Amino acid sequence: MRKLATLSAAFCVATLASPATAETGSQDVEQQLQELKTLRQNLEQQSQQFDQRIQQLETELYGESAAPPAATPQPGRSLGYRPGRGFNLFSSDMGEVNFGVFSYTRYLNQKDFDRTYTDSFGNTSNIDPRNDFQFQKVNISFKGWIFDPKLQYLFYTWTSNTSQGDPAQVVVAGNLGYHFNPAFKLYAGIGALPSTRSTNYTFPNWLKNDHRTIADEFFRGSYTTGIWAEGKIADGLMYRAMLGNNLSQLGVSGNQLDDGLNTASGSLWWMPTTGEFGPGEGFGDYEFHEQLATRFGIHFTHSREDAQAQPGTNSFENSQIRLSDGTLIFQADPFGNGTAINQATYQMAAANAGLKYRGWFLEAEFYHRWVDKFDATGPLPVDELDDKGYSVQASMMAIPKVLQPYVAYSEIQGEYGTPHDLSVGFNWFPFKRKEFRFNVQGLYLKDSPVGYSSVPFQLGGNGWAFTTDMVLAF
C-alpha cells in the first residue's frame, strides 16, 4: 500500500510540474516522458496485483465457486478468471462480459429397476431401465453489466443430450435486471420460481449433481417468464418475489397460455448467526465454516393452471401437477371415472432450516401442497388434493477441500401413496476446487411419482440407480 501511495504521489508531482519550454531542451523532455511511461507501467502492475489480491480474499471469504453476495462489478477490473463469475472476457467503463459453463458426463445404471409399475388405480406401465454413458448437459452463460454497473444482464443456452427429441431440450434464455439499491433489485425475463430451496438460485451448489430428491421434484415450481424483485431487508434477512406466466414455461408456447397472470411465488429467509450461508447459499459446507452458520426459510407459491399450459410428459426440467402415485391430473381420465380436469389451483408452502459448521452440513425441508377449485367435465371423487412431504440432506468434509460424503432422504405423504427415496454418495474434488468434481451416487427409489430423461430416476421407478458424474462448473 505504501509503495502504491509513493507511486501515486510521484505521478501527481510529475503531472503538476511546469510544462517543458523551448529553453528546457529536448533531452529534458525525453527524460520526463520516459519517467512518466515507467511510472504508468508501475501503476498498472500495482493495479493488477491489487485485483489479484482482492480476488484471493473474495475466494477465501465467499468460497471458490461464487462471488460475494450482492457484489457489484467494478469498472476497469483486469481480465481473467473470477470465482462465481467465470472468465472475464471484457471489462471497461462501458460494461463487462463474463463467460461461464456448467457441464458433465454421466454414467447411469438403472438395471436394478423393476420392469413394471402399477399405480393406485390398478393401471400397469412398463419401465425401460437405462444403462448408458451420456455427455449429459452443456449450459453456457454470458453475464455482466452494460453502461451502468447497476444494469445487469444474464444470457444463457443449455441443452441435455438425453432429452434430444423431447420438447425444450435446447433452451436459449436470460434476463435483465436493475439494482436500485441492496434492498430492491428488479429483474425481467426467464427465472426460477422461488418455490423451494433448490429453485431459489442455489444451483449448482448442491450435494447431488443436477437433480433433486423426489419430494422436492414432486412439489416444486420451475422456470417461467415473469418479473421478480429481490434484496436485503436487514442484515441476514433476504427476500425474493416473482410474478410469472405459469408453473413451468419450458416446452410451453405463448399461445398455450391464458390471459391471466395467475402465478406468484415468494421466499423469505434469515441467516442469523453469520449473515451468510456459503456460495449461492447452497448445500454442503465445502468452505469449512469456522463459525456456526444457520439459515431458516419459508416459501409460498400460488398458480391457476390448465391442461394446455402444463408442459408435456417428457419436457426438460418440467414441473407438473401429479397425484402421489405419479398420475398427471390433466391427463384424459386421471381418476378412471371418465372425467377430465380442465383447470385447477395449485398452492404450495415450504419451510426449511439448515446449519453448517467445520465441514458438517445438515438441512431439512418440509412441503405442503393443496390442489383444488377444479374445473372438470364431470364429477370427481375428490374436491381437494392435500399432500405433504419432507426431505433431509447431510454431508461432511471427510478430507477438507477434497472428499465430501453425503446422504439424502425424502418422502411424499400423499393421498395416493407414500413414495420415498434414499441417496448415498460422495463428491471428490481432485484439484481442491469446487469448479471440478466427480460425483458417485447410489439412489434407491420406492414408487417414484416423478421422472424424465435428464434425471437418474424414472416415473414409477422401484430399485437402485447408480450414477458416476464428471462435473465442470465455472
More confident residue, 171 or 325: 325
Helix (H) or strand (E) holding 143: strand 131-146
pLDDT band at 462 (very low <50, low <70, confident <90, very high): very high
pLDDT band at 346 (very low <50, low <70, confident <90, very high): very high
Using CA atoms, how far residue 27 sits from 21, 33, 38, in Å, is 12, 10, 17
CA distance 19 to 313: 76
Q: Which amino acid is at 103?
A: S
Pairing state between β 116-118 and 263-270: unpaired
Same domain, yes or no: 382 and 251:
yes
- Answer whether residue 74 is part of any domain: no
Task: Check pLDDT > 70 for residue 50.
Answer: no
Q: What pLDDT was estimated at residue 168?
A: 59
Any idea what the CATH number is for the domain that residue 263 is in?
2.40.160
CA distance 444 to 239: 35
3-state secondary structure of 202: coil
Half-sphere exposure of 388 (CA within 13 A, CB side): 2
Same domain, yes or no: 111 and 31:
no
Q: Which amino acid is at 106?
A: R
Task: Check pLDDT > 80 for residue 254.
Answer: no
- Per DSSP, what are the bridge partners of residue 189? 175, 226
Same domain, yes or no: 271 and 407:
yes
Same domain, yes or no: 177 and 48:
no
Domain boundary among 26, 42, 57: 57
Q: Which domain holds residue 51?
A: 2-57
- Answer whether residue 89 is part of any domain: no
- Per DSSP, what are the bridge partners of residue 467? 108, 441
Mean pLDDT of the residues in the chain: 87
Could you give the angle at the alpha carbon of 240 between the alpha carbons of 235 and 244, nearest 5°?
170
Tally of structural domains, the chain: 2
Same domain, yes or no: 373 and 460:
yes
Half-sphere exposure of 297 (CA within 13 A, CB side): 31
Same domain, yes or no: 436 and 303:
yes
Q: What pLDDT was estimated at residue 48?
A: 59
CA distance 367 to 313: 23
- Answer whether residue 144 is part of any domain: no
- The share of the chain scoring above pLDDT 90, in percent, equals 70
Q: Mind listing the pLDDT tens digit for each residue in 274-333?
A: 999 999 999 999 999 999 999 999 999 999 998 776 665 555 555 689 999 999 999 889
- DSSP codes of every residue in 246-311: SS--TT--GGGS-SS--EEEEEEEE-TTTS--SGGG-SS-TT--SS-EEEEEEEEEEEEEETTTSP
- Answer whether residue 142 is part of any domain: no
Q: What pLDDT was estimated at residue 82?
A: 84
Q: Using an 8 Å Cβ cutoff, are 367 and 298 in contact?
A: no
- Mean pLDDT score, 264-272: 98
Q: What pLDDT was estimated at residue 35?
A: 77
pLDDT band at 72 (very low <50, low <70, confident <90, very high): very low
Q: What pLDDT was estimated at residue 32?
A: 78
Q: Using an 8 Å Cβ cutoff, are 199 and 394 in contact?
A: no
Task: Check pLDDT > 60 for residue 252.
Answer: yes
Q: CA 329 from chain center: how many Å?
A: 28
CA distance 203 to 406: 17
End-to-end CA distance of the chain: 31
Same domain, yes or no: 193 and 320:
yes
- Answer whether residue 75 is part of any domain: no
Q: What pLDDT was estimated at residue 363?
A: 98
Pairing state between β 263-270 and 293-306: antiparallel
Residues contacting residue 60 through CB under 8 Å, at least 6 positions apart: none
Same domain, yes or no: 174 and 31:
no
Q: What pLDDT was estimated at residue 14?
A: 46
pLDDT band at 159 (very low <50, low <70, confident <90, very high): confident
- Answer whether residue 67 is part of any domain: no
Same domain, yes or no: 162 and 17:
no
Q: What pLDDT was estimated at residue 66?
A: 40
Q: What pLDDT was estimated at residue 70?
A: 38
Using CA atoms, how far residue 298 sits from 348, 364, 367, 390, 400, in Å, is 11, 12, 10, 14, 31
Same domain, yes or no: 37 and 173:
no
- Answer whether residue 341 is part of any domain: yes
Pairing state between β 341-357 and 360-376: antiparallel
Q: Using an 8 Å Cβ cutoff, are 448 and 326 in contact?
A: yes
Location of C-alpha cell 381437494: 384
Q: Which amino acid is at 349?
A: A
Pairing state between β 360-376 and 385-395: antiparallel
Q: Which three cell numbers stand for residue 190?
A: 426467464
Lowest mean pLDDT among 229-233, 316-320, 332-336, 410-414: 316-320
Same domain, yes or no: 13 and 128:
no
Q: CA 255 from chain center: how many Å?
A: 28
- Mean pLDDT score, 134-147: 93
Task: Check pLDDT > 80 for residue 411.
Answer: yes
More confident residue, 124 or 19: 124
CA distance 333 to 46: 71
Q: What pLDDT was estimated at residue 443?
A: 98
- Answer whether residue 461 is part of any domain: yes
Q: What pLDDT was estimated at residue 65?
A: 39
